[in-house]
């Protein structure tokens, strides 16, 4: 299983295994990690799974995957940056083993 490191806004990292085919949001929720809420359960209907993809991983994860994701990012409570993604839209593959995402200070 790929390892994903979730870095809290205060700098505390949490590294967990996330199954191939699962999304980054679900990896956080399944492991009770702070910083990702995922109110809509990954239905692309909220922005409470906002994260910042680490610069080293931007090329592998790409930008927002759809216009819907871009539109939802406009409703985040934290600053939107070029590395902003909704973690429900990042699906894990073997190529993403070692992925690092940074979490915003707030999801509300």
Q: Which CATH number goes with the domain that contains 96?
A: 3.10.20.30
**What is the tally of structural domains in the chain?**
1
Residue 83 lies in a domain: yes
Residue 108 lies in a domain: no
From first to last of its 108 residues, the chain has per-residue pLDDT tens of: 999 999 999 999 999 999 999 999 999 999 999 999 999 999 999 999 999 999 999 999 987 879 999 999 999 999 999 999 999 999 999 999 999 999 999 998
What's the rounded Cα separation, in Å, for the pair 10 and 39? Answer: 22
What's the rounded Cα separation, in Å, for the pair 75 and 68? Answer: 11
Residue 107 lies in a domain: no
Q: Nearest 10 degrees: CA dihedral of 20, 26, 30, 31?
A: 90
**Is residue 17 exposed (0-12), middle (13-18) or buried (19+ Cβ within 10 Å)?**
middle
Range of the structural domain that residue 76 is part of: 3-102
């Amino acid at each position: 299983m790929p390892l994903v490191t979730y870095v809290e806004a205060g700098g505390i990292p949490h590294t967990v295994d996330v199954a191939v085919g699962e999304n980054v949001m679900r990896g956080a929720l399944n492991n009770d990690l702070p910083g990702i809420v995922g109110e809509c359960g990954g239905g692309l209907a909220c922005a409470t799974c906002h994260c910042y993809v680490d610069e080293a991983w931007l090329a592998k994860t790409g930008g927002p995957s759809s216009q819907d994701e871009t539109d939802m990012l406009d409703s985040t409570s934290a600053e939107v940056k070029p590395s902003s993604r909704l973690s429900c839209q990042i699906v894990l593959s073997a190529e993403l083993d070692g992925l690092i995402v940074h979490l915003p200070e707030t999801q509300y």
